[in-house]
A and B are shown apart, each in its own frame.
Chain A
Amino acid sequence: MNIHEYQAKEILKSYGVTIQEGIVADTPEKAKDAAKELNASTGTQWFVIKAQIHAGGRGKGIINETGSNGVVLAKSLDDVAPKAKNILGGVLVTHQTGPEGKKVNKVLIAQDVYYPGESEPKEFYLSILLDRGTGQNVIMASTEGGMDIETVAEKTPEKIIKEWIDPKVGLQGFQARKVAFALGLDGEAFKQMVKFIFSLYKAFEGTDASLFEINPVLKTSDNKILAVDAKVNLDDNALYRHKNLAELRDLSEEDPLEVEAGQAGLNYVKLDGNVGCMVNGAGLAMATMDMIKLSGGEPANFLDVGGGANAETVEAGFRIILKDPNVKAILINIFGGIVRCDRVASGVVEAYKKIGTIHVPIIVRLQGTNAEEGARIIEESGLKVTSAILLKDAAEKVKQVLA
């Protein structure tokens, strides 16, 4: 699960991670109030207004309606409301949102932390994530703060520091020191960074996170270490033991069809193609999408109906797929093992009749237990449904309906 920057920073702060302070607001007036409060609590004279969406690249992103960037600086209190107004309610397009962009419902009003002082402010990159190869968490750090880590990895891989954490003993002091030294820090800033890394790792463990990306981490001119941005992904499988975190889910950031599918117990991901599909099992679902592409179509979705491919789940699947106007055909691919093909076939016929007329061709491929019986039920239903048993035949039939 993804959460917003302002939510992520609140969590980090509760674990003792030092952050760029901020207050979230959903109207220009509240943005100004937030700025006043921030001025009182931190003394900041300038304010950073940051659009809260689940995507990166906000600073360079553009609000469709106003042309404003997704992150802007207000150099006075009076400047806050009009600048927030240019962002709130607008659609922000960044290199990560795709051309359709994302609507901005909230802005974070944050303190200015790049103030001048005894030393130059310096930005770093810090992340914690699972390394699947070792089955351990790894801390990644780089002196190239503010830059996309993939670009750093490609151009200057030697600038990425990695430190693996043994799950048996957790993060050790020497590891945090190694990272802080490798970032070129000394004195007070070094001490603060070690503390920062420890608090951050504690937060990672404590929240069952799957990714923390703090980019940039800032060393301020007075040698504080602050999280200026925070990207946090949480392990969905662990949310049952973090009820407070589960509540942070923002459904408005998710595709409404995907949310609806989830409620029906289906695993659905919307794609841009013209052939819808409904499959049992995630691997077979992906393979079916690939086959659609090889047959000359483009998959319109990923849809895993799971173990129970019955009339209700098939009907829910049909309804969700048919809401996508780009869908020109639907391929149902069920490999019946425990679930019998004749039962699935009856479910398909029942669901079809319940929906009424479906205006796109449907290909039903049932294989496994009672496959012949399933095909017979489909053939004899009198519906405009083509059946197939072999995956090859199904691919051929997709080709035919697209031709």
Chain B
Amino acid sequence: MSVLVNKNSKIVVQGFTGTEGTFHASQMIEYGSPVVGGVTPGKGGQQHLGLPVFNTVKDAVDSTGADTSIIFVPPAFAADAIMEAADAGIKVIITITEGIPVKDMMQAKPYAKARGAQLIGPNCPGVITPGEAKVGIMPGFIFKKGNIGIVSKSGTLTYEAADQVVKAGLGISTAIGIGGDPIIGTSTKEAVQMLMNDPETEAIVMIGEIGGQYEAEAAHWIREQGNPKPVVGFIAGQTAPKGKRMGHAGAIIGGKDDTAEAKMRIMGECGIHVAKSPADIGETLAKALA
């Protein structure tokens, strides 16, 4: 098992021949991810990285049976790319692109949902099921195979968490980078739900940050389910001032409920093992499993 992506996924890369697309697609192929081709409008019929290039996602789906897409197209065209993938019947759409206007996502998210696609991101590192499929920009070697699921809003902090999980003698089932934008396709709760339903995942590490209500929503859901699997939580931004955007478009404290302090308190009340310091994620997990 595992969630979202595995060795049977058929991955198509949107923005395949661009600089970012080329670099990360070759890293994904090198990792052994099942990439079946790419899409760059106007370059259909060519070969790139030894794989076919298609003009449209529909063409790619028709000839390869692709069911998963990863998007590297520039922000101005990314929402269009998401909708194209959903329209072509892609089931998992992973959007790496950073800097997509909110108004565009407001259209693209419900569009993808209405067509039954699971949108991940944007502005995220992607999804990895170690040893099977890396559909993202994360350094694959950090993620050793195992039974811990990771859900995170941030890129390098996900790598940090994965590294600590591995150093604690454990491994990762699937790590899901959900992204740091104000509108993202998959919420913390939805990602946690997937991992809770995955028989291969024994415990979950949930990494959040200031801004929004996603972590609180996930925490309440976990408690309502009776805490079926141990969950370790960390929220970045305990020292962030109110009203200042901290890098991610979504990482800004609006009201008193979306501070790190409030989120950590709610997580604690819901039976989640909260790591106060980012250096203690692995240790907290080891204790929770002991």
Which A positions have Cβ atoms within 8 angstroms of B?
Answer: 130, 132-133, 135-137, 150, 153, 167-168, 205, 208, 210, 235-238, 240-241, 267, 269, 271, 273, 279-294, 298-299, 302, 304, 335-338, 367-369, 390-392, 394-395
CA distance A299 to B236 in the complex (A): 13
User: Can you name 19 A-B pairs with beta carbons within 8 Å?
Assistant: A132-B213, A132-B250, A133-B217, A153-B255, A205-B103, A235-B101, A235-B102, A238-B103, A269-B245, A283-B152, A283-B157, A283-B209, A284-B154, A284-B236, A285-B246, A286-B239, A286-B247, A368-B163, A394-B279
| CB nearest neighbor in A for B278 | A287
Tell me whether B115 is interfacial, beta carbon within 8 Å: no
Interface code B232-244, partner A: CB below 8 Å = 1, 0 otherwise? 0010111111001
CA distance A337 to B136 in the complex (A): 12
How far is the CB of A140 from the nearest CB of chain B, in Å? 12
Q: Would you call B101 and A283 a contact (CB within 8 A)?
A: no
CA distance A192 to B278 in the complex (A): 53
A-B complex: 9 closest residue pairs judged by Cβ atoms: A283-B154, A282-B247, A281-B156, A337-B139, A238-B101, A283-B157, A287-B278, A286-B236, A391-B279
Q: Would you call B106 and A283 a contact (CB within 8 A)?
A: no
Tell me whether B49 is interfacial, beta carbon within 8 Å: no
Q: Would you call A241 and B247 a contact (CB within 8 A)?
A: no
Partner of A284, one of B156, B210, B212: B156
| CB nearest neighbor in A for B114 | A168
How far is the CB of B181 from the nearest CB of chain A, in Å? 9
Q: Would you call B157 and A287 a contact (CB within 8 A)?
A: yes
With known contacts A132-B250, A286-B236, A299-B239, A368–B142 Cβ distance under 8 A? yes
Instruction: List the A side residues contacting B109 at CB < 8 Å.
Output: 135
Number of interface residues of B (CB under 8 A): 63
Instruction: List the A side residues contacting B277 at CB < 8 Å.
Output: 290-291, 294, 395
CA distance A116 to B68 in the complex (A): 65
How far is the CB of A8 from the nearest CB of chain B, in Å? 18
What total of A-B pairs shows CB separation below 8 Å? 169
Tell me whether B107 is interfacial, beta carbon within 8 Å: yes
How far is the CB of B252 from the nearest CB of chain A, in Å? 10
Instruction: List the B side residues contacting A294 at CB < 8 Å.
Output: 276-277
Q: Would you call A132 and B182 a contact (CB within 8 A)?
A: yes
CA distance A78 to B35 in the complex (A): 75
Tell me whether B3 is interfacial, beta carbon within 8 Å: no
Interface code B247-286, partner A: CB below 8 Å = 1, 0 otherwise? 1111100010000100000000000000011111000000
Partner of B160, one of A205, A284, A338: A284
Instruction: List the A side residues contacting B249 at CB < 8 Å.
Output: 236-237
Partner of B159, one of A135, A167, A237, A337: A337
Tell me whether B41 is interfacial, beta carbon within 8 Å: no
Which B54-90 residues sit within 8 Å CB-CB of chain A?
75-76
Q: Which of A130, A205, A299 has the largest count of B CB atoms less than 10 A from its CB?
A: A130
Q: Would you call A288 and B278 a contact (CB within 8 A)?
A: yes
Tell me whether B144 is interfacial, beta carbon within 8 Å: no
Instruction: List the A side residues contacting B238 at CB < 8 Å.
Output: 289-290, 293
With known contacts A281-B157, A285-B247, A286-B210, A240–B76 Cβ distance under 8 A? yes
With known contacts A135-B183, A369-B141, A284–B106 Cβ distance under 8 A? no
Tell me whether B100 is interfacial, beta carbon within 8 Å: yes
Q: Would you call B154 and A291 a contact (CB within 8 A)?
A: no
With known contacts A271-B239, A302-B240, A337-B139, A282–B246 Cβ distance under 8 A? yes
CA distance A280 to B159 in the complex (A): 11
How far is the CB of B186 from the nearest CB of chain A, in Å? 12
How far is the CB of A136 from the nearest CB of chain B, in Å? 7
Given contacts A135-B105, A280-B156, A289-B237, list 15 more A-B pairs with CB under 8 A.
Answer: A132-B182, A133-B212, A208-B101, A210-B102, A271-B239, A281-B156, A281-B247, A283-B154, A283-B180, A286-B236, A291-B278, A368-B139, A368-B163, A391-B278, A391-B279
Instruction: List the B side residues contacting A335 at CB < 8 Å.
Output: 156, 159-160, 163
Partner of B248, one of A240, A283, A367, A368: A283
Partner of B207, one of A236, A238, A283, A292: A283
Q: Would you call B160 and A367 a contact (CB within 8 A)?
A: yes
With known contacts A240-B76, A267-B247, A130–B102 Cβ distance under 8 A? yes
Q: Would you call A337 and B142 a contact (CB within 8 A)?
A: yes
Q: Would you call A286 and B159 a contact (CB within 8 A)?
A: no
Tell me whether B155 is interfacial, beta carbon within 8 Å: yes
CA distance A336 to B159 in the complex (A): 9
Q: Would you call B183 and A282 a contact (CB within 8 A)?
A: no
CA distance A375 to B154 in the complex (A): 25
Q: Would you call B103 and A235 a contact (CB within 8 A)?
A: yes
With known contacts A132-B182, A292-B239, A368-B142, A237–B279 Cβ distance under 8 A? no
Q: Would you call B182 and A290 a contact (CB within 8 A)?
A: no
How far is the CB of B41 from the nearest CB of chain A, in Å? 20
Instruction: List the B side residues contacting A208 at CB < 8 Å.
Output: 101-103
Instruction: List the B side residues contacting A287 at CB < 8 Å.
Output: 157, 160, 234, 236, 278
Q: Would you call A269 and B212 a contact (CB within 8 A)?
A: no
Q: Would you call A237 and B102 a contact (CB within 8 A)?
A: yes
Instruction: List the A side residues contacting B248 at CB < 8 Å.
Output: 282-283
CA distance A379 to B27 in the complex (A): 31
Tell me whether B138 is interfacial, beta carbon within 8 Å: yes
How far is the CB of B287 from the nearest CB of chain A, in Å? 15
Q: Would you call B154 and A167 a contact (CB within 8 A)?
A: no
Instruction: List the A side residues contacting B157 at CB < 8 Å.
Output: 281, 283-284, 287
| CB nearest neighbor in A for B152 | A283
Instruction: List the A side residues contacting B99 at CB < 8 Å.
Output: 237
Partner of A369, one of B139, B234, B240: B139
Instruction: List the A side residues contacting B138 at CB < 8 Å.
Output: 337
Instruction: List the A side residues contacting B211 at CB < 8 Å.
Output: 132
